[in-house]
Amino acid sequence: MITKELKTIDDVISTLGEIINESEKTKNPLGYFAALYQRVTIVVKEGIEKDYFDDGPRMEKLDILFAKRYIDAWYAWKNNEPVTQSWEKAFTLATRKSPLVFQHLLVGMNAHINLDLGIAAAEISDGETIFELQADFNKINEILSSLVDEVQNNLSSIWPLLRWILSKTGRIDNSLVNFSMKKARDGAWKSATEMAKLPLEGVSAYIHFRDQKVAVKSKLVTNPGYFVLALFLLIRVGERGTVADKIGKLRYKLLKEAGTI
C-alpha cells in the first residue's frame, strides 16, 4: 500500500493541495471533499496556533493521524488497492455523473467522521486516558459542524438555484437531518472509547464491524428516496460547469473564507 509521510499539519495541507490539483486535472469529483478537508485543516491549524485546544501538540498529532486515514485511502483507491467499505462508498460515488457536490461532501464526511475520527482518537489514547481528549474532540467537531453551514452558503453563492431552494426549504432535504453532525460526533466518540479499551488483537475486528455500519449510513446520502432525488435533480440542473470548474470554484470560496487568498 502506498502511503504518504505526514509529520506536520502543514504536510497535511500540502498533500491535500496535491489531491485537489490532480482532481482538477483529471476532472475527478473526489476533489470536492479534498477542498473541504483542506479548509477544515487550515482552521484546525489556526486553532492550535491560537491555543483554542487544551493540548495543541496532541491535537496536531490527532489531526495528522485523522488525515492520514483519508489520504492513504485516496492513494490506495487511485492504485486499485483495497479500502474500507465506507471509503469505497464515497469513492464509487465519484464514478457517477448525477450526484450533487453536496452529496459528494456528505458521503466523504460519513466515512471520515463516523469511521476514521474514532479510530484516530483511539490511536493516540491509552485506555482511560481517552477521556482526557474529550474536550478537544468536541472542539474539533464544532469546527467541522460550523463549516457545513459555511460550505452550504458557499455552494449557494456559486449556484443561485440552490440558494433559492434553500430559501424555500430551509435545508437541502429533511432526510439529511438523520445525517447530522451531532450523531456523527457522538458515534465517533463512542467508538473511540470502546476501541481504546480493547486489546490490540481485538481492534481490527471492531474496526471491520464499525466500517460495515458506517457504510450502510451512506445510503442516507446516496439513496435518500424518490422525492429527495427529484429535488436533487432540480438542484443538479443548476450546478453548471465541468467538474474541474466546480472544484476550482469551491476551492476558491473556501480558501477565501480562510483568508489564505
Domain residue ranges in the chain: 9-258
- CA 143, CA 181: separation in Å to the nearest integer? 11
Q: Choose between 249 and 212: higher pLDDT.
A: 212
pLDDT at 172 over 50: no
- For residues 19 and 31, is the Cβ–Cβ distance under 8 A? yes
Query: What does the pLDDT read at residue 54?
Result: 95
- What's the pLDDT band for 18 if we cut at 50, 70, 90? very high
Query: What does the pLDDT read at residue 147?
Result: 74
Tens of pLDDT along 189-202?
999 999 999 998 99
Average pLDDT over residues 171-187: 60
Picking from 253, 259, 246, the residue whose alpha carbon sits closest to that of residue 104 is 246
Q: Euclidean distance between the first and final Cα of the chain, in Å? A: 35
pLDDT at 10 over 70: yes
Q: Choose between 99 and 114: higher pLDDT.
A: 114
Average pLDDT over residues 42-49: 94
- What's the pLDDT band for 124 if we cut at 50, 70, 90? very high
Query: What does the pLDDT read at residue 179?
Result: 52
Q: Choose between 253 and 170: higher pLDDT.
A: 253
- What's the pLDDT band for 6 if we cut at 50, 70, 90? very high
- What's the pLDDT band for 182 if we cut at 50, 70, 90? confident
Q: Choose between 183 and 67: higher pLDDT.
A: 67
pLDDT at 158 over 50: yes
This model's pTM is above 0.85: yes
pLDDT at 247 over 50: yes
Query: What does the pLDDT read at residue 221?
Result: 77
> Which residue is associated with the grid cell 474539533?
140
Kindly report the average pLDDT of the chain as a whole number: 84
pLDDT at 64 over 90: yes
Neighbours of 7 (CB within 10 A): 9
User: What is the percent of the chain with per-residue pLDDT over 70, rounded to a whole number?
Assistant: 78
Amino acid of residue 197: K
- What's the pLDDT band for 220 if we cut at 50, 70, 90? confident
Average pLDDT over residues 242-247: 86
pLDDT at 103 over 90: no
pLDDT at 135 over 60: yes
pLDDT at 91 over 80: yes
C-alpha angle 198-200-204 in degrees, rounded to nearest 5: 90
Whole-number Cα distances in Å, 249 to 17, 151, 245:
14, 12, 6
Query: What does the pLDDT read at residue 123?
Result: 94
Length of the chain counted residue by residue: 261
- CA 156, CA 101: separation in Å to the nearest integer? 11
Report residue 243 CA to chain centroid gap: 19
C-alpha angle 32-37-38 in degrees, rounded to nearest 5: 100
- 208: its cell numbers: 471491520
3-class secondary structure per residue, the chain: CCCCCCCCHHHHHHHHHHHHHHHHHHCCCHHHHHHHHHHHHHHHHHHHHCCCCCCHHHHHHHHHHHHHHHHHHHHHHHCCCCCCHHHHHHHHHCCCCCCCHHHHHHHHHHHHHHHHHHHHHHHCCCHHHHHHHHHHHHHHHHHHHHHHHHHHHHHHHHCHHHHHHHHHHCCCCHHHHHCCHHHHHHHHHHHHHHHHCCCHHHHHHHHHHHHHHHHHHCHHHHCCCHHHHHHHHHHHHHCCCCHHHHHHHHHHHHHHHHCCC
Query: What does the pLDDT read at residue 100?
Result: 81
- For residues 179 and 221, is the Cβ–Cβ distance under 8 A? yes
